[in-house]
Each structure stands twice: as C-alpha cells, then as structure tokens.
Amino acid sequence: MNRLRSSRRGLLAAAGGLVASAGVQVAARAAPDAAVAKLPATTEAFWGDHQAGITTKQQSHCYFAAFDLTTEKRDDVIALLKTWTNAAARLTAGQTAEPMGTDHDAPGPDSADALGLSPARLTITFGFGPGLFVKDGKDRYGLAGSRPDALIDLPRFNGDQMVAEKTDGDLSIQACADDPQVAFHAVRQLARLSYDAADLRWSQTGFTSPPADGSTTRNLMGFKDGTQSPPDVAKAVWVGDDGPVWMRGGSYLVVRRIRMALEHWDRTKVSFQEQTFGRQKYSGAPLGLKGEFEPLGLDRTDADENPIIPENAHVRLGNAAANGAAEILRRGYSYNDGVNFTAERWPPWRQGMEYDAGLLFLCYQTDPRTGFVKLFEKMAKFDMLNQFVTHTGGGLFAIPAGIRQGEYVGQRLFEKA
C-alpha cells in the first residue's frame, strides 16, 4: 500500500478511480479533490513517551467513549489493543482507519465520513478501567495481580446521582480534535474494529470555544474555566518510577459527567455566582483582586475579619495549598445533550423540561487518591457549587505510558503479567 492510497485523500483517489467500474454507488462516496488540497495538515504526534491528549493544547471538541470487554480471552484483548493502536496511528495522521483492501465492495476500511477533512489535531488517548483487571470478582485475563493500587474503585461521593449507563467501563477512548466530525469518526472506527471483543458502554461529546484573543475559555455558567493549572504539570500528571513499569509516563484519568442546573443559575445574581466560585465573572480575577492570574490570596479578610473568598467557595476547596498539595490537570469540555424532564434537588425544587447540559470534567493526575478523591471528597460535602450541579456519570481509568512505534498500547502490562 503506498502512502497516497492509504491516506484519507488516497481513499478519495481510490474511490474516484473505481467510479468507472463500480458506477454511481462509489461515485457518491467521493468528494472534490480540490477542497482537500486547501485543508491545513494539522497533526499531533501519536507515538512517544506519553500518550497525546493529556498535556496537548486542548482541542475544541472531544468524544469520550467507554467500552465493556465481552470476550473471555486474553488473546482477543491483545489483538484488539493491537488493532486499535494501528488504527489510531493512522487516524491521527489523517488516514483511513485501515488500509484500502482489494475487495472494493467490502463494507470498507473506513466509514468515509471524514474523507477530505484535515486531521484537525486529532489525539486518541486509551485508558484501562478496573474491569480489565477484575470484573465481578473474576480475573478474566490473568491481570488481577497487575492492577495498580491507584486504580481504585471510586467511592460514592456526597450528592452523586451516577447512572449506570453513563458510568465506568473496562476500556476508554478520549478522542479530541478541532473538528467534531473527526473526533466522532475516530471513535466510530475504533468501535467498529472492536465488534468481536468489546461493546460500547457509554459515550459523551464535549466542546469548548477558545476566544479569538487567546483568553481563557468560559464554561456554560459564563465563568472563565481553566485559569489555574499545576505549576509543574509534568510532576502533577505523569506516573514516575514508583508506579508499575507499564504506567511509567502514563497517568490516571477521572471523568465526571456533571449536569448544571442552568435554569436556576441563570436566575441567580452575579454577586452570588461570584461568591460560589470565589472569582469574578467577567475578569476571572479572584474576589477583591484585579488580574485573572493573581494568586488567590486565601488569607485575605474584610473589615469584619471574614474571608474575602468564602470558606465554601469552589476555588478555595479546589486549591492545592488548602488540600495538602493535591494537584490535578483539568481538561474539561462543555456538553449539551438537549432537554429532559428533571426534578431539581435544591430550592426552588423546580420540575419540568430542563437542559441536560454541563461539564464533561476530565482530569489527569499521578494518583487519584491524592488528586481527585482528596479534592472532591471535601468539595462534594461543602462546595457552594453543589446546589447548581449534579454528577451523573463518569469513571476512573489508568492511562498507560506512551506507545513506542511498533508497540501496542499497554504492551508492557501484558508482557509482564
């Protein structure tokens, strides 16, 4: 297979070449080559010491998917991870998921819906959930002894309303791209390639729109979200030599699907919204200060000795200094899944059709026990934000080390166990 024929553009050429022999059916799958030529080739490296999509500059769209392994055979899991790795390397390079075969009437190496699109900085980040190691007490693949201590079963937190159909999973894929169609296409191809070994369990789309001036993006509550990040990102995120070999250079991902009561929020005074977060809405600055990137100054008090940033404000509860230096790298996206009949659990206990929209919270860390769990245990109990948000799904996934060319994702785990 030469490079041109195996690229998305190459598939176009190949499909075009078939028109004469296969008639209109194939012609409908082709797209004008001229449009392709104009597209920028924006590509993120796939192979490396770390998986991409973690410290990569955030793309504008995300498609997150979790899978249940249906096979009982370890070799099937290895075969799936090999297939996924090969396909992901191709997709992130802007190629079709599989090379074009010679049977042009076969269902196809690719669904073709991303033909002509640029790679759009696509990254594909694979994760392993607890179910890969032990499921319902069963060691299906001889991996139980290799389950990292940090890959805990997440506790139930105060206020959680987790829905089984949006929670957990044995494997995860986070596909991020600057084009929603490219992100969805990638997961769809990988899901198709997993048919004999795994089933999609749940998925969630997300979006974020960076302002043209490069300033911090805003979440659906209208606040700048992403101002604070760990001062030493590598230290906060990558598992070091104290982790299992296959996790060194990897990370742990906590995903939470967090619904926002936007109807309630939109009727709340801005001053109360600002107290809730501990930051000003329009500038993003900590309460009482001017600049978005000024330190929070948690010790500041007013004339009556009351803290300027309230005790239960979101940023105080999330701040590393106030939590034994617990650092996480947040990489969240907004989500919008239409409307649902909802009964609010906070005053004014509104019932009716409400948005199912909010935050696809994604955060990376070296250990969730000292990262997300440490921070969120306190937040779940005391955060003023809780009256406006509900956690409805999510999971914890070990993100294996980066993939070296010629390897498959997680190879060092299977070689060891």
Tell me the closest approach of the beta carbon of residue 87 to ligand HEM, in angstroms: 32
Return the residue of 112, 150, 190, 258 that touches ligand HEM, per CB under 6 A.
258
Instruction: Output the CA–CA distances (angstroms, integers) from residue 256 to 158, 359, 395, 401, in the order listed.
Output: 14, 8, 7, 22
Q: Which is nearer to ligand HEM, 86 or 217 (CB)?
A: 217
Q: Which is nearer to ligand HEM, 197 or 328 (CB)?
A: 328
Instruction: Output the CA–CA distances (angstroms, integers) from residue 414 to 82, 94, 240, 329, 408, in the order listed.
Output: 12, 29, 19, 28, 10
Tell me the closest approach of the beta carbon of residue 184 to ligand HEM, in angstroms: 23
Number of residues counted as binding ligand HEM (CB under 6 A): 28
Burial 242-266 (b: 16+ CB within 10 A, else e): ebbebbbbbbbbbbbbbbbbbebbe
Stretch that binds ligand HEM, among 114-122, 255-263, 298-306, 338-346 (CB under 6 A): 255-263
Burial 286-323 (b: 16+ CB within 10 A, else e): bbebeebeeebebeeeeeeeebbbbebbbbbbbbbeeb
Does residue number 222 form part of the binding site for ligand HEM (CB under 6 A)?
A: no
Return the residue of 225, 274, 354, 367 that touches ligand HEM, per CB under 6 A.
225
Does residue number 261 form part of the binding site for ligand HEM (CB under 6 A)?
A: no
d(Cα 327, Cα 375) in Å, to the nearest integer?
Answer: 9
Instruction: Output the CA–CA distances (angstroms, integers) from residue 394 to 51, 91, 163, 336, 366, in the order listed.
Output: 20, 26, 9, 16, 18
Residue pair 197/76 in contact by the 8 Å Cβ criterion: yes
- Give the containing element (helix H, strand E) for 329: strand 329-330
Q: Which is nearer to ligand HEM, 358 or 402 (CB)?
A: 358
Return the residue of 80, 162, 221, 262 that touches ligand HEM, per CB under 6 A.
221
**Tokens encoding 247:** 């996790």
Tell me the closest approach of the beta carbon of residue 356 to ligand HEM, in angstroms: 13
Tell me the closest approach of the beta carbon of residue 276 to ligand HEM, in angstroms: 9
Long-range contact pairs involving 322-328 (C-beta distance under 8 Å, separation at least 24): 322/298, 323/374, 323/375, 323/378, 324/370, 324/374, 326/370, 326/371, 326/374, 326/375, 327/230, 327/235, 327/236, 327/365, 327/371, 328/230, 328/236, 328/254, 328/363, 328/364, 328/365, 328/371, 328/372, 328/375
Q: Which is nearer to ligand HEM, 58 or 189 (CB)?
A: 58
d(Cα 361, Cα 288) in Å, to the nearest integer?
Answer: 28
Tell me the closest approach of the beta carbon of residue 296 to ligand HEM, in angstroms: 6
Does residue number 279 form part of the binding site for ligand HEM (CB under 6 A)?
A: yes
* Cα separation of the two ends of the chain: 35
Tell me the closest approach of the beta carbon of residue 221 to ligand HEM, in angstroms: 5
Return the residue of 9, 29, 201, 256 that touches ligand HEM, per CB under 6 A.
256
75, burial (CB in 10 Å: exposed 0-12, middle 13-18, buried 19+) = exposed
Q: Which is nearer to ligand HEM, 184 or 277 (CB)?
A: 277
Question: x/- binding map, residues 354-393, to ligand HEM, per CB under 6 A?
Answer: ----xx-x----------x--xx--x---------x----
Stretch that binds ligand HEM, among 115-123, 159-167, 225-233, 267-275 (CB under 6 A): 225-233
Tell me the closest approach of the beta carbon of residue 148 to ligand HEM, in angstroms: 20
The number of beta carbons lying within 10 Å of the beta carbon of residue 23 is 10
**Which residues share a beta bridge with 68?**
199
In the complex, which residue's CB is closest to ligand HEM?
318
Tell me the closest approach of the beta carbon of residue 314 to ligand HEM, in angstroms: 5
Q: Which is nearer to ligand HEM, 239 or 317 (CB)?
A: 317
Report the site for ligand HEM in 294-323 (rule: CB under 6 A): 296, 314-315, 318-320
Tell me the closest approach of the beta carbon of residue 216 to ligand HEM, in angstroms: 7
Tell me the closest approach of the beta carbon of residue 223 to ligand HEM, in angstroms: 4
Task: Give contact residues for ligand HEM (rule: CB under 6 A).
Answer: 219, 221, 223-228, 256, 258, 260, 277, 279, 296, 314-315, 318-320, 328, 358-359, 361, 372, 375-376, 379, 389
